[in-house]
Amino acid sequence: MSEPALLGKVAVVTGGAAGIGYALAEGLARRGAAVLIADRDGAVAAAARLRAAGFSVEGIAADVSSEDDTAAMAEAAERLFGGIDILVNNAGIYATLTPRPFEALDVAEWRRVLDVNVIGTFLCCRAALAGFRRRGGGRIVNISSGVAFKGNPYMAHYVASKGAVVSLTRALATELGRHGVLVNSVAPGFTLSDGVMKNPVLVAGVKEPSLRNRVLARDMLPEDLVGAVCFFAGPDAGFITGQTLVVDGGAYFH
């Protein structure tokens, strides 16, 4: 029987306490990785659930928009597991947003979305870089969104933030290749995550059009993203960098 593909690797998953992030943390752990879950709330409890299932997982409270928190996250990965091999930048603001015309969006909300979705991704990558260098390379998987390519209405700040994540992925791939760090992104379609299900206005406005526009006409669940993220994190993606893989059931062909 072959060894798990990620045995001996250390992965950090931001926003990993619930929803998509939790599914990704579990998927990486099932493939043999030791996982550090970083989230503003619930990271320690989420890690405990996965440890109870037999996985090597720890949790740390962290706000990805904080320089101090992202530095502490990287330090915790070093202390608990000896380093970082895989960084999954999943933390982001979406499920709490209410769709509105762009002229109705206030500047404070714009700044908060960009602080978490874009600056947070940058800060996490920067915090992990020293650890990647010490280990001779690594993988960064950024969670972007299909909206970056479709230009969905009534979420201009979110669409702009995810477009920035796609562009940042490309820029970092170019810059970090010499360090052996591969940088890719996965762009989900509308996903029925825990947070999304708590926002009935969002579900009412987006679920039906998403189903109608998919080739695979079913709801998208967090588990649908696990394979793509683990592929980019694993040995089969060793010569792929700067790419974005859309996972949305065929709503957008990229």
Catalytic machinery residues: 158
117 within 8 A of 161, measured Cβ to Cβ: yes
Tokens matching residue 194: 């825990």
Per-residue DSSP letter, 131: H
DSSP 6-71: TTT-EEEEETTTSHHHHHHHHHHHHTT-EEEEEESSSHHHHHHHHHHTT--EEEEE--TT-HHHHH
211 within 8 A of 219, measured Cβ to Cβ: yes
Tokens matching residue 172: 């970092």
32: left (phi over 0), alpha (psi -120 to 50) or beta: left
Tokens matching residue 243: 């790419």
188 within 8 A of 225, measured Cβ to Cβ: yes
